């Protein structure tokens, strides 16, 4: 998705009411059922000219996700979005709503998702209560009542979209589409309306851009965001097959989808408490390691590339253990850390990926 502001402006011109959301797993179905088009403000780095706007507010030891999204909202939100939505995820993000509000006057809807396992006393009840309260906020904001039918229709759309995303992953794992291309199509989910994204996915699956390639060394890619396109292209060109991905903007976002039900408070209990485990979801730590190791086995993974998000403590605190577990299974690991300032010179990382691919090839 090369020009996010232009895409958003086009949607806006077509009469869509856009709601900018962060972080990655907002209640998309619910927002959509109120006639809003949720846009997930992640990976905005390519859409900000520089970090000047965010640097007025955030120190340079803030991760590039937060700098990118703050800068994007400050520079572009006016006229594009009708509202913003955020839920709690990390220590950096929780400071952003008030910072953003110093420059951008937009309604801000918020949700606190319990960082507790489902079975803990009060966890479910609290989340249900928060969702009901969010429904009320949305009713007030959109001036329309909640509709269970509309909600069911929205969940059906997102279910279909997530299933198509997984199909594209399967195609990528079989060498049927380069990782760089698959990731571009998959990540466009965040800034396209779900209906448009479904059309893009269906087209892509029916007409993969290149003939099937001979599958190469089977690798799992992990991290908060897919790496910059040039690094993915190097992976493709080096003969690496991304046989599984554990990237938050990709598989972690669409790997699971809860059963449909007309009550959003029940639906989102399933959604958040049983979400595909992500480093940003605190109670999922144990499950995350199990799921990753299972996927390593199922997909016959030989190498693990971790695209670390510089200054993301969640990821930092997991990597040493993950690395040990991979080593125990004979999986080679490569750790690449990417910060905002690294984007200007990716050459050393390209070289390391090529060397890693060569090592796996032997």
- 72 counts as binding ligand SF4 under rule CB under 6 A: no
Residues in the chain: 362
Q: Which is nearer to ligand SF4, 36 or 66 (CB)?
A: 66
Distance (Å) of CA 100 to CA 46, 75, 106, 263, 358: 19, 11, 9, 32, 45
Q: What's phi and psi for 255, nearest 5 deg?
A: -65, -35
Q: Tell whether residue 314 is a contact of ligand SF4 (CB under 6 A).
A: yes
d(CA 123, CA 280) in angstroms, rounded, equals 17
> 208 - beta bridge partners?
none
What is d(CA 101, CA 112) in angstroms, rounded to the nearest whole number? Answer: 19
5 binds, among another protein, ligand SF4, none (CB under 5 to 8 A by kind): none
| Interaction mask 43-82, another protein, x per CB under 8 A | -------------xxxx-xx--------------------
Spell out a b/e string for 154-188, using b for 16 or more CB atoms within 10 Å of the CB, else e: bbebbebbbebbbebbebbbebbbbbbbbbbbbbb
Among 12, 16, 17, 110, binds another protein (CB under 8 A): 110
Stretch that binds another protein, among 29-37, 202-210, 313-321, 347-355 (CB under 8 A): 313-321
* Cβ closest to ligand SF4, residue 111 vs residue 157: 111
Query: Dihedral angle at the C-alpha atoms of 271, 253, 163, 147, nearest 10 degrees?
Result: 50
Burial classification of residue 278, based on how many CB atoms lie within 10 Å of its CB (0-12 exposed, 13-18 middle, 19 or more buried): buried
Token match 């509000």: residue? Answer: 101
Q: Using the rule CB under 6 A, give the single segment among 74-82, 87-95, 192-200, 236-244 that binds ligand SF4.
A: 87-95
Which of 210, 239, 235 is CA-nearest to residue 223? Answer: 235
Q: Does 208 bind another protein (CB under 8 A)?
A: no
Pick from 13, 91, 149, 328 the residue near another protein by CB under 8 A.
91
279 binds another protein (CB under 8 A): yes
Binding site for another protein (CB under 8 A): 56-59, 61-62, 88, 90-92, 94-95, 97-99, 102, 110, 112, 114-116, 120-123, 126, 129-130, 133, 279, 282-283, 285-286, 289, 308, 310-311, 313-314, 316-321, 323, 337
Binding site for ligand SF4 (CB under 6 A): 63, 65-66, 89-90, 92-93, 224, 280, 309, 312, 314
């Amino acid at each position: 998705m090369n020009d996010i502001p232009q895409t958003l402006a086009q949607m806006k011109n077509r009469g869509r009411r856009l709601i900018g959301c962060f972080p990655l797993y907002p209640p998309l179905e619910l927002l959509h059922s109120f006639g809003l088009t949720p846009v997930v403000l992640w990976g905005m780095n390519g859409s900000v000219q520089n970090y000047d706007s965010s640097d007025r507010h955030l120190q340079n030891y803030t991760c590039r996700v937060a700098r990118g999204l703050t800068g994007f909202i400050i520079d572009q939100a006016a006229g594009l979005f009708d509202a913003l939505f955020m839920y709690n995820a990390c220590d950096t993000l929780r400071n952003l709503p008030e910072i953003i509000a110093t420059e951008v006057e937009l309604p801000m809807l918020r949700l606190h998702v319990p960082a507790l396992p489902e079975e803990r006393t009060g966890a479910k009840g609290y989340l249900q209560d928060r969702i009901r309260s969010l429904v009320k906020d949305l009713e007030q904001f959109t001036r329309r009542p909640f509709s269970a039918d509309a909600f069911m229709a929205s969940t059906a759309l997102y279910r279909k979209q997530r299933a198509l995303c997984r199909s594209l992953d399967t195609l990528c794992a079989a060498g049927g589409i380069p990782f760089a291309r698959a990731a571009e199509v998959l990540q466009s989910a965040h800034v396209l309306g779900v209906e448009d994204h479904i059309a893009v996915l269906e087209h892509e699956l029916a007409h993969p851009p290149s003939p099937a390639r001979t599958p190469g060394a089977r690798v799992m890619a992990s991290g908060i965001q897919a790496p910059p396109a040039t690094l993915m292209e190097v992976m493709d060109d080096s003969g690496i097959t991304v046989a599984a991905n554990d990237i938050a903007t990709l598989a972690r976002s669409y790997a699971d989808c809860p059963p449909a039900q007309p009550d959003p408070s029940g639906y989102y209990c399933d959604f958040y408490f049983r979400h595909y485990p992500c480093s940003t979801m605190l109670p999922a730590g144990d499950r995350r390691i199990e799921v990753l190791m299972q996927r390593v086995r199922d997909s016959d993974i030989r190498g693990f590339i971790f695209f670390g998000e510089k200054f993301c403590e969640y990821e930092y605190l997991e990597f040493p253990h993950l690395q040990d577990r991979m080593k125990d299974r004979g999986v080679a690991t490569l750790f690449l850390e990417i910060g905002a300032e690294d984007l200007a010179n990716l050459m050393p990382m390209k070289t390391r990926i090529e060397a890693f691919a060569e090592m796996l090839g032997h």
